[in-house]
Amino acid sequence: MLSLNVKDETSKLKSVVLGTAESNGKTPTAEEAYDPKSLQHIKEGTYPQETDMVAEMNAVEKVLKKYDVKVYRPEIIENYNQIFSRDIGFVIEDTFIKANILPDRNRELEAIDYIIKQINPKKVVQFPEDVHVEGGDVIPYHDYIFVGIYRGEDYKDFITARTNPKAIQALQELFPNKIVKSFNLRKSNTDPKNNALHLDCCFQPVGKDLAVIHKNGFLEEKEYNWLVSNFKKENIFEVTKEEMYNMFSNFFSISEEVVVSEKNFTRLNNWLRERGITVEEVPYAEISKQGGLLRCSTLPLERI
């Protein structure tokens, strides 16, 4: 049996599912795009090439193994995008939650079925179909589970709205000892600079009670202010609109002391180093053209 344990974003990582860019398939059409950033690069002819993305993901795997992390990869499905493993499931405490993802992406879950079969079946949960939740919107933090949602009545009009209010109730029932706190996120199908696809695209805890945050990602200022007062202003790295577009808040923590980050994120990486955190820099700019980065590509199974 696989042992699961995830209570936060920063405890020492023991095992993780890292997505794969192998046999990624041809460049999608504009109609097939799931997010505004992919759409932009499809239209501009700059959508990433498979060879570049495979190299970027291999660089991440190398760093993970350097820190003795057990790395699982999805089974390869021919001509199918399997990069963003965080979307398809997530672990809280000792429970694996299968995400109710966009129907076109169901096969991504099948590709990690060999991993899920190693988990105690009583600890594998799938919510009812009308409960939408993706792993990028779920951030466990001490007594809290932070969840990015979209509360608008036009929810169904946004392909970028991935987690709905019903997820809050479902998570609260599943984890009655936790405080499930929701954040209403800004959504756009067409403007990547005004779209927070997931909560981890505009906020992430790091180190010992530090945080990286982008104010414009939050539709309700009081919810942004709650995070600022909870983490304290001096412990927060504020991300600009351009930096949010480049996915600055989507790094990945191997422990409180070690973070994997994109090599071009100079301002962020320097800020982390000034606070005593080791930053393992990797090239990830090609994958970021699909609207996701390092946290999106990783699904932690066990932290200690």
Domain harbouring 100, CATH code = 3.75.10.10
Q: Is residue 261 part of a domain?
A: yes
| pLDDT > 70: percent of the chain | 100
Tokens representing residue 94 in the block: 């000792």
Confidence of residue 271 (pLDDT cuts 50, 70, 90): very high
Q: Give pLDDT, residue 220.
A: 98
User: What separation in angstroms does the CA of 78 have from each of 24, 51, 189, 288, 301?
Assistant: 7, 15, 28, 22, 25
User: What separation in angstroms does the CA of 112 have from each of 14, 219, 221?
Assistant: 18, 34, 38
Which residues have CB under 8 Å from 84's CB, separation 6+? 19, 136, 290, 292, 296, 297
Q: Is residue 215 part of a domain?
A: yes
Q: How far apart are CA 209 and CA 203, in angstroms?
A: 13
Q: How far apart are CA 214 and CA 227, in angstroms?
A: 11
Residue pair 99/89 in contact (Cβ under 8 Å)? The answer is: yes
Confidence of residue 105 (pLDDT cuts 50, 70, 90): confident
Q: Is residue 273 part of a domain?
A: yes
Q: Higher model confidence: residue 100 or residue 174?
A: 174
82-98 per-residue burial string, b: 16 or more CB within 10 A, e: under 16: bbbbbbbbbbbeebbbb
What's the whole-number average pLDDT of the chain? 96
Question: Is the pLDDT reported for residue 41 higher than 80?
Answer: yes
Confidence of residue 5 (pLDDT cuts 50, 70, 90): very high
Give the mean model confidence (pLDDT) for residues 4-11: 98
Residue pair 170/125 in contact (Cβ under 8 Å)? The answer is: no
Q: Is residue 4 part of a domain?
A: no
Out of 36-50, 95-109, 211-225, pick the least confident: 95-109
For the chain, the straight-line distance linking the first and the last C-alpha, in angstroms and rounded, comes to 17
Burial of 51 (0-12, 13-18, 19+ CB in 10 A): exposed
Q: How far apart are CA 202 and CA 191, in angstroms?
A: 15
Question: Is the pLDDT reported for residue 106 higher than 90?
Answer: no
Q: Is residue 7 part of a domain?
A: no
**In the Cβ-directed half-sphere of 183, how many Cα atoms lie within 13 Å?**
33
Q: Is residue 92 part of a domain?
A: yes
Q: Is residue 116 part of a domain?
A: yes
2 DSSP assignment: -
Question: Is the pLDDT reported for residue 104 higher than 80?
Answer: no
Q: In what order do the strands lie in the sheet with 236-238?
A: 203-206, 210-213, 236-238
Q: Is residue 5 part of a domain?
A: no
Q: Give pLDDT, residue 101.
A: 77
Q: Give pLDDT, residue 109.
A: 94
Domain span holding position 248:
13-303
Give the mean model confidence (pLDDT) for residues 16-45: 93
Q: How many domains does the chain have?
A: 1
H runs (alpha helix) in 120-220: 165-174
The count of residues in the chain is 304
Q: Give pLDDT, residue 102.
A: 73
Q: How far apart are CA 54 and CA 60, in angstroms?
A: 10
Q: Give pLDDT, residue 33.
A: 87
Please write the tens of the pLDDT for every residue from 235-254: 999 999 999 999 999 999 99
pTM of the full predicted structure? 0.96
Give the mean model confidence (pLDDT) for residues 275-283: 98
Which H/E stretch holds residue 39? helix 36-44
Q: Higher model confidence: residue 35 or residue 255?
A: 255
Q: Give pLDDT, residue 277.
A: 98
